[in-house]
Amino acid sequence: MPQRSEQKSEPIAIPAALQSAHDGFLRHMRLERSRSEHTLRAYSSDITNLLTYAIPRGAQTLEGIDLPLLRTWLMTLQESGLARTTLSRRSASIRSFLAWALRENLIDTNPAIRLQSPKREQRLPHVLQSNQIQRMFDAPPRTTNQGNADTQEPTAEERALADRNTLILELLYATAIRVGELVSLDIDSLDLDRRTLRVIGKGDKERTVPFGQPALNALDNWLRRSRPTLRNEHSGPALLLGKRGKRLDARQAREVVSKALADLGDTAARGPHALRHSAATHLLDRGADLRAVQEILGHSSLATTQLYTHVSVERLKESYQRAHPRA
């Protein structure tokens, strides 16, 4: 029986008025709101998704996008099996887009004001136990395939990369900064005397974050003996360097953390955010003030930081269930 050839749908041409609004909104978010390229790509994808749904249904300008159309668009996405987090993000993007369009007098009313989207699932972040954190730091970072690495003396480059990997882990857990913030650090971001970092976070907001003695020791090893080994004419002021001497990128840092966590063997946690979650939770478990933790994390809303108090309560309940005779 002959197979049917798959028909590829032709891309929908976006009218000039809608394309202009799309581009103007992204320009506003980039220049005036200092949104990251990652966030801008998400906005662009979400708005384009709505426009390609709306155009065949008669919308040639923003005035053609009304509340019933927005509701059927969301319903169609929901029926396609899209995750609630993605649905929530897409509807939030459209609300921001149409609110901007109203301010720019591109529309007379904003239909998205009454648009309700599925609430995000409030998943509690995975948190490492203190003994897992300790084991992670006790294990020497590996930078080569196992092979004969145990019998050969490491090269100067391998030692430098091992020191860098240790520093990545120490700084992420000590400061609870995001991986993008970590790889953006320059040498002059450090104040070694005060043991603080100057971090540029989301929206180009600057904050100062403290770190402890273990991170200071890792910084000293890296700056004194290992960064000079990797440094070259491409290094510039970057604190963390890749194997070729250029600024370390976020993907490489994620790989270092994921490998260290995988080597623990008893956790499903992966990636830098696991260390950020764990640091925040451990601070609150040990009595840190919620607003101080908010400042360290760089959260604009205290409600976001309060998620970590929920984590602590869950851990408290688990301990109670295990230990209390009448639990």
Active site residues: 178, 202, 273, 276, 299, 308
Is residue 94 within 8 A of residue 102, CB to CB? The reply is no
Extended beta strands in the chain, E state: 190-191, 196-200, 206-210
- Cα Rg of the chain, angstroms: 24
For 113, 122, 262, 309, 310, the CA distances from 85, given in Å and listed in that order, are 19, 10, 26, 21, 19
Residue holding tokens 């998943």? 123
Angle, helix 156-175 to helix 213-221, in steps of 10 degrees: 150
CA angle at residue 292 from 267 to 40, to 5 degrees?
70
Dihedral of CA atoms 21, 25, 31, 34 in degrees, nearest 10, equals -170
| Alpha-carbon span 175 to 196, nearest angstrom | 9
Burial label for 137, CB within 10 Å (0-12, 13-18, 19+), is: middle
Q: Which residues contact 181 (CB under 8 A, 6 or more apart)?
A: 199, 200, 201, 298
Please list the residues that pair with 188 across neighbouring strands. none
Is residue 239 within 8 A of residue 190, CB to CB? The reply is yes
| Alpha-carbon span 10 to 5, nearest angstrom | 15
